[in-house]
Amino acid sequence: MSSLIKNASSLSKSHLMKNRFTGWNLLSVMGVVCVLFLMGCGGDPLKQLDTPTRGTIKVAMDDSYRLVMESEIHTFEAIYKYAKFDTIYSTETEVFEYFMNDSAPLIVVNRKLTQRENEILTAQQIVPKTTLIAYDAVALIVNNENPDQKIPYDRIRDIFTGKITRWNQINPSSKLGEISVVFDHYKSGNPRYFKEKFELDSLPAICYAVQSNNEVINYVEHNKSAVGVISVNWVSDKRDSVSNNFLNRIKVVGISSPGNNDPSANYYRPYQAYIAEGLYPFIRGVYCINRQTYSGLAFGLSAYIAGPNGQLIILHSGLVPATQPIRIVEIKN
């Protein structure tokens, strides 16, 4: 009898150990399956350590929006202590390269993805999420001593198409010589915007590029015949010391409506009210584009910018919020 009990006990322990090893093997297999599933869905499990309010990711942003995005990120990080952003401000071309190479899961730009870019991401089983966060304007600036600070829309078009190259073609009494149009960078979204706006294959020889928005302002400040092309964000926030400094050094051009070249026409500068009402002619959208395949920090930041507090920061920056209505007050003399 004792022999039977001993054998039964030994059998029971052996069966228990076998079940234990089987359980561990099952867990291991399930772990591998989960990893393979995540990788097959276009996600790297090692990158999925961030959540909407914590973690560290790289974000790439068009340098046109440096001032407003610095405020957005500073405020977000102040609210969420465990969220950190490695922020890159660069040209439009380079920002999209970061995004397409998966070096930055979130970008802030002034154009949507092209059909080809969407196709490349779809092939990687990635469905990017595009969020409109603001309306921006392309501002034209001139030297403080240039008397022609109001230019008809059709004359602006003629400058970019190469029909007008000298200031006396705009104002016969002008003593300034050849016009030089200066962009922030040849890879930025500003030259692309005007090529698309006026359906051009290339820009005329009077167009040049420097390396930044700051350099555009410096160039215009010291060259009376120059026209600078920058995002309005650089000269729109009157509470910001950088914007105020720039506004003292140059003048923002007023532009008439298309087809209206009369001297008595209304001329619109890229103020919030004129952008919101569509009266200023060079307006574009600003977008957050997120490629994360999970609800991570890229989603958290873009949701914050598109939310009430983020939109309030955009309103104070001089841009027009995409979702928060702005109050326009007409003052009559």
161 within a domain of the structure (yes/no): yes
Q: 35 Cβ partners below 8 Å, 6+ apart?
A: 45
Same domain flag for 95 and 216: no
For residue 239, name the pLDDT band (cuts at 50, 70, 90). Answer: low
2: pLDDT strictly greater than 70: no
- Do 260 and 315 lie in a common domain? no
Residue 194 contacts by C-beta under 8 Å, 6 or more apart in sequence? 138, 160, 200, 203, 229
- Asked if the structure places residue 169 within a domain, the reply is yes
Are 265 and 313 in a shared domain? Answer: no
Number of domains the chain is built from: 3
Task: Please tell me whether residues 84 and 194 are part of one structural domain.
Answer: no
**191 and 276 both lie in a single domain:** yes
CATH number, domain of 218, equals 3.40.190.10
For residue 61, the cross-strand partners are 89, 108
Q: What percentage of residues in the chain have a pLDDT greater than 70?
A: 79
- For residues 156 and 279, membership in a common domain is answered with yes
- Which domain does 35 fall in, by range? 2-40
Task: Answer whether residue 326 is part of any domain.
Answer: no
Q: Are residues 90 and 205 in the same domain?
A: no
Does residue 167 form part of some domain?
Answer: yes
Assigned domain for 209 exists = yes
Tokens standing for 37? Answer: 């599933």
Q: Do 164 and 279 fall within a single domain?
A: yes
Over the stretch 168-208, which tens digit does the pLDDT of each residue have? 999 999 999 999 999 999 999 999 999 999 999 999 999 99
Pairing of strands 250-252, 129-143: antiparallel
- Radius of gyration, CA atoms only, the chain: 28
198 in the same domain as 230: yes
- 268 and 153 in a single domain? The answer is yes
Q: Is 102 exposed, middle or buried (0-12, 13-18, 19+ CB in 10 A)?
A: middle
Is there a domain that residue 330 lies in?
A: no
Asked if residue 327 is part of any domain, the answer here is no
Q: Structure pTM?
A: 0.79
Model confidence pLDDT, tens digit, residues 40-68? 444 444 445 889 999 999 999 999 999 99
Rounded distance between C-alpha atoms, residue 277 and residue 296, angstroms: 35
> CB of 217 within 8 A of CB of 230?
yes
Q: Are residues 152 and 186 in the same domain?
A: yes
